[in-house]
Amino acid sequence: MIARSPIVAILGHVDHGKTTLLDYLRKSQIAAKEFGGITQKIGGYSVNTGIKDYQTETITFIDTPGHEAFSKLRARGATVADIAILVIDGKDSIMPQTVESIAHIKAANIPFIVTITKSDLPDSNPEKVKRDLLKHDVLTENKGGKVPVVSVSAKTGSGINELLETILLIATDLNLTYDPKNSLQAHIIENKKDRRGIVASVIVKDGTLKVGDDVY
Protein backbone atom coordinates (compact mmCIF):
# COMPACT_ATOMS: atom_id res chain seq x y z
CA MET A 1 0.00 0.00 0.00
CA ILE A 2 1.16 3.52 -0.83
CA ALA A 3 0.25 6.74 0.97
CA ARG A 4 -2.06 8.90 -1.13
CA SER A 5 -2.90 12.57 -1.07
CA PRO A 6 -5.90 13.63 1.01
CA ILE A 7 -8.89 14.87 -0.97
CA VAL A 8 -10.04 18.12 0.64
CA ALA A 9 -13.34 19.81 -0.21
CA ILE A 10 -13.57 23.57 0.29
CA LEU A 11 -17.11 24.54 1.26
CA GLY A 12 -18.82 27.70 2.47
CA HIS A 13 -21.03 30.66 1.64
CA VAL A 14 -20.67 32.62 -1.60
CA ASP A 15 -17.94 35.30 -1.52
CA HIS A 16 -16.44 34.01 1.72
CA GLY A 17 -13.07 33.46 0.03
CA LYS A 18 -12.99 29.79 -1.02
CA THR A 19 -11.59 30.28 -4.52
CA THR A 20 -9.35 33.16 -3.44
CA LEU A 21 -7.83 30.86 -0.81
CA LEU A 22 -7.25 28.18 -3.43
CA ASP A 23 -5.79 30.80 -5.78
CA TYR A 24 -3.21 31.64 -3.12
CA LEU A 25 -2.33 27.97 -2.70
CA ARG A 26 -2.05 27.40 -6.46
CA LYS A 27 -0.53 30.82 -7.20
CA SER A 28 -3.31 31.35 -9.75
CA GLN A 29 -6.06 33.86 -10.50
CA ILE A 30 -9.14 31.69 -10.95
CA ALA A 31 -11.46 33.87 -8.85
CA ALA A 32 -10.81 36.95 -10.97
CA LYS A 33 -11.66 35.08 -14.17
CA GLU A 34 -14.94 33.46 -13.10
CA PHE A 35 -18.23 34.88 -14.30
CA GLY A 36 -19.46 37.38 -11.73
CA GLY A 37 -16.64 36.25 -9.46
CA ILE A 38 -18.72 33.19 -8.54
CA THR A 39 -17.60 29.56 -8.84
CA GLN A 40 -20.20 27.66 -10.90
CA LYS A 41 -18.68 24.19 -11.09
CA ILE A 42 -16.53 21.82 -9.09
CA GLY A 43 -12.80 22.01 -9.77
CA GLY A 44 -10.04 19.67 -8.59
CA TYR A 45 -6.46 20.81 -8.08
CA SER A 46 -3.34 19.14 -6.69
CA VAL A 47 -1.00 21.26 -4.57
CA ASN A 48 2.49 20.26 -3.42
CA THR A 49 2.91 21.85 0.00
CA GLY A 50 6.64 21.21 0.32
CA ILE A 51 6.00 20.12 3.93
CA LYS A 52 7.86 16.86 4.49
CA ASP A 53 7.01 15.97 8.11
CA TYR A 54 3.87 13.96 7.34
CA GLN A 55 2.71 10.88 5.42
CA THR A 56 2.38 12.90 2.21
CA GLU A 57 3.19 16.45 1.15
CA THR A 58 0.59 16.72 -1.62
CA ILE A 59 -3.05 17.74 -1.15
CA THR A 60 -5.87 17.46 -3.70
CA PHE A 61 -8.37 20.29 -3.26
CA ILE A 62 -11.95 20.36 -4.53
CA ASP A 63 -13.39 23.85 -4.90
CA THR A 64 -17.20 23.90 -4.63
CA PRO A 65 -19.64 26.70 -5.51
CA GLY A 66 -20.97 28.80 -2.63
CA HIS A 67 -24.03 30.22 -4.37
CA GLU A 68 -27.39 28.86 -3.16
CA ALA A 69 -28.20 27.52 -6.63
CA PHE A 70 -25.40 24.93 -6.45
CA SER A 71 -26.42 22.88 -3.40
CA LYS A 72 -26.01 19.53 -5.19
CA LEU A 73 -22.44 20.36 -6.20
CA ARG A 74 -21.54 21.18 -2.58
CA ALA A 75 -23.06 17.90 -1.45
CA ARG A 76 -21.09 16.01 -4.12
CA GLY A 77 -17.85 17.69 -3.06
CA ALA A 78 -18.34 16.65 0.56
CA THR A 79 -19.17 13.07 -0.46
CA VAL A 80 -15.97 12.69 -2.50
CA ALA A 81 -13.65 14.23 0.12
CA ASP A 82 -11.62 12.74 2.96
CA ILE A 83 -11.48 16.09 4.79
CA ALA A 84 -13.44 19.33 4.46
CA ILE A 85 -12.49 22.96 4.93
CA LEU A 86 -15.43 25.05 6.11
CA VAL A 87 -14.60 28.57 4.96
CA ILE A 88 -16.21 31.40 6.94
CA ASP A 89 -15.70 35.13 6.42
CA GLY A 90 -14.38 36.61 9.68
CA LYS A 91 -16.69 39.61 9.32
CA ASP A 92 -19.90 38.02 7.99
CA SER A 93 -19.73 34.90 10.20
CA ILE A 94 -22.42 32.24 9.65
CA MET A 95 -24.55 32.65 6.51
CA PRO A 96 -27.18 30.41 4.83
CA GLN A 97 -24.78 28.35 2.71
CA THR A 98 -22.45 28.03 5.71
CA VAL A 99 -25.27 26.24 7.53
CA GLU A 100 -25.96 24.08 4.50
CA SER A 101 -22.26 23.25 4.15
CA ILE A 102 -22.15 22.15 7.80
CA ALA A 103 -25.06 19.79 7.07
CA HIS A 104 -23.26 18.32 4.03
CA ILE A 105 -20.07 17.78 6.05
CA LYS A 106 -21.97 16.07 8.87
CA ALA A 107 -23.87 13.89 6.38
CA ALA A 108 -20.57 12.82 4.80
CA ASN A 109 -19.17 12.10 8.29
CA ILE A 110 -15.71 13.45 7.50
CA PRO A 111 -13.32 15.48 9.68
CA PHE A 112 -13.20 19.18 8.93
CA ILE A 113 -11.32 22.37 9.68
CA VAL A 114 -13.01 25.71 10.24
CA THR A 115 -11.03 28.26 8.24
CA ILE A 116 -11.77 31.89 9.05
CA THR A 117 -10.85 34.02 6.06
CA LYS A 118 -9.97 37.70 5.62
CA SER A 119 -8.19 37.73 8.99
CA ASP A 120 -6.14 40.74 7.87
CA LEU A 121 -9.22 42.99 7.95
CA PRO A 122 -9.79 45.08 11.10
CA ASP A 123 -13.44 44.04 11.47
CA SER A 124 -12.68 40.31 11.31
CA ASN A 125 -13.99 38.66 14.49
CA PRO A 126 -12.89 35.02 14.87
CA GLU A 127 -14.29 34.74 18.41
CA LYS A 128 -17.77 35.67 17.20
CA VAL A 129 -17.50 33.04 14.47
CA LYS A 130 -16.66 30.39 17.08
CA ARG A 131 -19.59 31.44 19.26
CA ASP A 132 -21.95 31.41 16.30
CA LEU A 133 -20.79 27.91 15.36
CA LEU A 134 -21.95 26.64 18.76
CA LYS A 135 -25.52 27.42 17.69
CA HIS A 136 -25.08 24.89 14.90
CA ASP A 137 -23.52 22.17 17.09
CA VAL A 138 -20.01 22.79 15.83
CA LEU A 139 -17.70 22.70 18.85
CA THR A 140 -14.26 24.06 18.08
CA GLU A 141 -11.11 23.19 20.00
CA ASN A 142 -11.29 26.09 22.44
CA LYS A 143 -15.06 25.81 22.88
CA GLY A 144 -15.20 22.31 24.32
CA GLY A 145 -14.87 20.40 21.06
CA LYS A 146 -12.30 18.92 18.69
CA VAL A 147 -12.84 20.87 15.46
CA PRO A 148 -9.66 22.84 14.65
CA VAL A 149 -9.91 26.51 13.71
CA VAL A 150 -7.35 28.33 11.57
CA SER A 151 -7.55 32.05 10.74
CA VAL A 152 -6.04 32.88 7.36
CA SER A 153 -5.55 35.72 4.93
CA ALA A 154 -5.23 34.88 1.25
CA LYS A 155 -3.96 38.43 0.79
CA THR A 156 -1.00 38.31 3.20
CA GLY A 157 -0.54 34.53 3.46
CA SER A 158 -1.05 34.62 7.22
CA GLY A 159 -2.13 31.25 8.62
CA ILE A 160 -1.71 29.35 5.35
CA ASN A 161 1.12 27.10 6.56
CA GLU A 162 -0.82 26.32 9.73
CA LEU A 163 -3.83 25.33 7.62
CA LEU A 164 -1.73 23.06 5.38
CA GLU A 165 -0.06 21.40 8.37
CA THR A 166 -3.44 20.83 10.01
CA ILE A 167 -4.71 19.14 6.84
CA LEU A 168 -1.62 16.92 6.59
CA LEU A 169 -1.83 16.01 10.29
CA ILE A 170 -5.45 14.90 9.93
CA ALA A 171 -4.59 13.01 6.73
CA THR A 172 -1.75 11.18 8.51
CA ASP A 173 -4.14 10.19 11.31
CA LEU A 174 -6.58 8.85 8.69
CA ASN A 175 -3.75 6.76 7.17
CA LEU A 176 -4.94 7.25 3.60
CA THR A 177 -3.45 4.68 1.23
CA TYR A 178 -4.00 3.12 -2.18
CA ASP A 179 -2.77 0.08 -4.09
CA PRO A 180 -1.87 0.82 -7.73
CA LYS A 181 -2.58 -2.84 -8.58
CA ASN A 182 -6.19 -2.68 -7.38
CA SER A 183 -9.19 -2.15 -9.63
CA LEU A 184 -9.78 1.51 -10.37
CA GLN A 185 -11.95 3.41 -7.90
CA ALA A 186 -12.59 7.02 -8.83
CA HIS A 187 -15.15 9.78 -8.44
CA ILE A 188 -16.38 11.80 -11.40
CA ILE A 189 -16.52 15.39 -10.20
CA GLU A 190 -17.36 17.10 -13.49
CA ASN A 191 -18.17 16.10 -17.05
CA LYS A 192 -18.85 17.93 -20.29
CA LYS A 193 -19.16 17.30 -24.00
CA ASP A 194 -16.85 18.99 -26.49
CA ARG A 195 -15.38 18.23 -29.93
CA ARG A 196 -13.56 15.22 -28.45
CA GLY A 197 -16.76 13.73 -27.07
CA ILE A 198 -17.58 13.32 -23.40
CA VAL A 199 -14.76 14.58 -21.16
CA ALA A 200 -14.76 13.90 -17.42
CA SER A 201 -12.67 15.15 -14.52
CA VAL A 202 -12.11 12.32 -12.07
CA ILE A 203 -10.36 11.89 -8.74
CA VAL A 204 -8.73 8.48 -8.28
CA LYS A 205 -9.01 6.97 -4.80
CA ASP A 206 -7.59 3.51 -5.52
CA GLY A 207 -5.98 1.62 -8.36
CA THR A 208 -4.50 3.26 -11.46
CA LEU A 209 -6.17 5.02 -14.38
CA LYS A 210 -4.33 4.08 -17.57
CA VAL A 211 -4.58 5.25 -21.17
CA GLY A 212 -7.08 3.07 -22.99
CA ASP A 213 -9.05 2.04 -19.89
CA ASP A 214 -12.81 1.71 -20.22
CA VAL A 215 -14.54 3.68 -17.47
CA TYR A 216 -18.15 2.99 -16.52
Active site residues: 67
Other C-beta atoms lying within 10 Å of the C-beta of residue 185 = 12
User: Phi then psi for 40, rounded to 5 degrees?
Assistant: -120, 5
CA–CA separation, 116 vs 111, rounded Å?
17
The Cα 157–Cα 135 span in angstroms is 30
Q: Are 77 and 4 in contact (CB under 8 A)?
A: no
